[in-house]
Amino acid sequence: MVKRLNKTKHVIYLLVALSMLVIALPRISFAGGLDWVNIFGIVWVLFSLLIVGAHLHFILGVDEEKKRALEAVRRAKLRQWEMKLLDKQEQRKSV
């Protein structure tokens, strides 16, 4: 329930950021050289795209996939460590 509400919140934020970008992008003039107004427009668009990307990253669940992959690696390393310990114990018994 909380997870779904959290994703809904991010979808709303994503839509707001996209709508701000769609409304403002045609009004920003990138012609006329590299003055402070154009630099501000470029930086504003880049920050907006960064916000959109961050919300897409969360909505698509990339963090959850990464957590699962890291957990699988952790379990595999734990199994290897246990096998090494068992091998050392068997070597000690055979001596």
Mean pLDDT of the chain: 86
For residue 13, pLDDT over 70 is answered with: yes
Q: What tokens appear for 40 in the block? A: 């501000």
Average pLDDT over residues 26-35: 80
User: 15-19, 24-28, 60-64, 85-89 — which is least confidently predicted?
Assistant: 60-64
- Write down the pTM of the prediction: 0.61
Tell which wins on pLDDT, 30 or 74.
74
For residue 5, pLDDT over 70 is answered with: yes
**H or E element that contains 95:** none
The pLDDT-based confidence of 41 (bands split at 50, 70, 90) is confident
Half-sphere exposure of 56 (CA within 13 A, CB side): 8
